Amino acid sequence: MMEQEWTIGGRSCLLFGQEDPKCLMIWMLGSDERNDVVGMAAMIADACDIPFVMATYCVDDWERDLTPWPDPFLSKQPEVGKMAGETLHGVTDLLLPELHKRYGTLPVVLGGYSLAGLFALWAASETDGLDGVAAASPSVWIRDWLPYAESHPVKAERVYLSLGDREEKTRNPVLSRVGDCVRGEYDLLKQQIGETNCTLEWNIGGHFADADKRLAKGFAWNLRFINL
């Protein structure tokens, strides 16, 4: 059930909780996805019987709030690429302390889809406050992602990656890089945290197919690794 709605750092945060949780999950989502929280939590619970708490951190401007650095292909707006640090501050310094105060020091998994998946990967390299990442169809085609990922190893213990098998089959030369880029990211992760602590799952379809189900699988994969 939905337990509470907070406003933290000017952001809307929704909370879904189970009794005696073993893990905190944070879902970076757009304001238009607010109604999907209970459904997402139900899919995770169906896939794994370990109790958890899911908190959402709502972003109003997807590109501005989640993009770690400017990329002209993504957006030519001057503020895009400058606000991800503020978003990360809201998660790690405002939201997480409130969750830990309520539930204790539990493992934390940060997840998201598309740009939010990219943000989760980036956040895992920028902070040591995350135990796991669920990055479904992450936008790793962004300019200079792989050089950044190579020079900034993730600090999380586990990382789940996924991609649709048709996402790289596009005529757009930038977006078509996503397949090679996610393979490159997976290779780096195997070196950084070990092959048993990361995975790359391929799903059927393009970028917009079954986004909620794909992300739920990523959260559930992380949940199974929680050391009870």
Q: What is the per-residue pLDDT across 171-218, written as a single tens digit (0 to 9) for each?
A: 999 999 999 999 999 999 999 999 999 999 999 999 889 999 999 999
Rounded average pLDDT per 10-residue block, the chain, 228 residues: 76 86 92 74 92 91 91 82 90 94 94 96 96 97 96 98 95 93 98 97 92 95 82
- What does the DSSP assignment read for 178-219? HHHHHHHHHHHHHHHH-GGGEEEEEESS-TTSSHHHHHHHHH
pTM for the model: 0.94
Q: Which domains, from first to last, does the chain contain?
A: 2-224 (3.40.50.1820)
Q: Cβ of 110: how many Cβ atoms within 10 Å?
A: 32
User: What pLDDT is attached to residue 1?
Assistant: 53
User: What pLDDT is attached to residue 228?
Assistant: 47
Q: Which residues contact 219 (CB under 8 A, 6 or more apart)?
A: 25, 27, 40, 44, 54, 109, 111, 134
Distance of alpha carbon 223 from alpha carbon 228, whole angstroms: 10
